Chain A
Amino acid sequence: MIEATGIKEIIKPENLVYRKTKIMTDNILSYCPGCGHGTTHRILAEVIDEEDLQSQTIGVSPVGCSVLLYNYIDVDIQEAAHGRAPAVATAIKRLLPDKFVFTYQGDGDLAAIGTAETIHACNRGENILIIFINNGIYGMTGGQMAPTTLPGMKSSTSPYGRDVKTMGYPLKMTDIVATLPGTYYVTRQSVNTPANVKKTKKAIRKAVQYQKLDKGTCFIEIVSNCPSGWKMTPVQSNKWMEENMFPYYPLGDLKIPEK
């Protein structure tokens, strides 16, 4: 490993405060520089590690940039057809109820082609965790408009900006599933700052506990960036996200367990 190191005398095992979890493989992530998919993978893997769930976890990956999830998180992962991850996860959890089962899906996957699977799995209260990466665009295929694309936002299929009159309004899937009795814990987070990374990690940890208690569907939206699709640098993309995505998709809990 070629390294750039700080002060050598401090670099001792007893001083270690943070190192990438071994649940993340050493493969180089296929994501663009600064993409929130990587950060989200990392904290999900950290929770799996800290909760000692590596052999007990089955993930379901989407179609989208994160289709290669199995290359990066060292747990059992089943690839689903586009948008069908909640249906596949339903079967896995029902057959293997002792496993920790999650789906990991983009907004094109979850809120466009997979809308029906998302809503019905949540409505059935399947005891799974759905992780929803909302970057307001189809990242993988070249930045096409998604149901989540903001009004006026440019994409390769809305080059003059999304016109809500002809293209409809951005779909707030998280708000919709929060109204369904089957969902137990519904929250919207982001991984743009150290504090938000910690909050998202805490949300994932809660969802793991609720699944152990058979509480029903947990749904975590992560408002994320797509520097390539948005045609911005990573730092600009986070700023744009804070200024434009957060007002439309405000961070915070939408449904928390009743005491």
Chain B
Amino acid sequence: MAKIRGSIVVNIEKCKGCELCMVSCPTGTIAMAKEVNGKGYNYAYPANPELCIGCANCAMVCPDGVITVYKTKI
């Protein structure tokens, strides 16, 4: 059976580390980095990229329009 796989791209420098994407992700793909960006925020990143299903929940709730989402069937 075809499996849906997704992938996100986070524009690290624009992320404000609000964590809203992380709590909206149904698969636990996203975590907050231990490192900070140029503004001093712990940015979001796909810590478990293989779990992403490309549902775009994270991008829907991101106030700063930081996340781009891709999806495919494999």
Contacts and interface: CB of A to CB of B under 8 A. Distances in A.
Chain B binds chain A:
yes
Interface of A: 1-8, 10-12, 15-20, 24, 28-29, 31-39, 42, 191-194, 197-198, 227, 233-235, 238
A25 to B, nearest CB: 10
B20 A234 contact: yes
B61 A7 contact: no
13 contacts: A5-B49, A6-B7, A6-B52, A10-B71, A15-B72, A17-B54, A17-B71, A20-B65, A24-B65, A32-B16, A33-B16, A33-B41, A38-B63
Interface in B5-64: 5-14, 16-20, 23-24, 29, 33, 37, 41, 43-46, 49-50, 52, 54-57, 59-64
Contacts of A12: 70, 72
B29 to A, nearest CB: 7
Contacts of B37: 2
Nearest to B39: A28
Contact of B7 (A10, A234, A235): A10
Contacts, number: 130
Nearest to A40: B63
Contacts of B72: 10, 12, 15
A73 to B, nearest CB: 11
A12 B72 CA distance: 9
B29 A6 contact: yes
A197 B61 contact: yes
B13 A1 contact: yes
A39 B57 CA distance: 13
Given A34-B63, A235-B23, 6 more contacts: A2-B12, A4-B9, A4-B12, A11-B9, A31-B63, A197-B61
